[in-house]
Amino acid sequence: MSGRGGEKGARPKPARITSPEAAERLVRDLKRDQSGEPDYRRRSLQLYGLVCAKCGREFDERTRHLLTVHHKDGNHLNNPADGSNWENLCVYCHDDEHSRSILADYLAGRR
């Protein structure tokens, strides 16, 4: 039946690490993928703590993925170091915040 592809070692070769820099970059990439947190997120959680700015719900290392960083001006690229554009919101309040502003825009006839 399966008369083709007799070779069993046809796996893709792992990327060869040719220099210490390449190894370092690889490790850094792996670490970033593991935490999955952008820089601003980590900084904002550090700055304001693991607490929702709206409902006051507190989080810890285990539940911190439920706490999100809201950008007050809606621009995720605007990340001033003093954190003035950030607000830590739990996923529920964050959702609420966004649906509210969409609704406000809608009611104001802006769309």
List residues near Zn ion by CB under 5 A.
Answer: 52, 54-55, 70, 90, 93
Report the amino acid identity of residue 23.
A
CB 88 → Zn ion: shortest distance, Å? 9
Q: Which is nearer to Zn ion, 41 or 70 (CB)?
A: 70
Are the CB atoms for 70 and 44 separated by under 8 Å? no
CB 46 → Zn ion: shortest distance, Å? 18
Residue found under tokens 């690889």: 26
Of 36, 38, 32, residue with least CA distance to 69 = 38
CB 57 → Zn ion: shortest distance, Å? 5
Are the CB atoms for 47 and 81 separated by under 8 Å? no
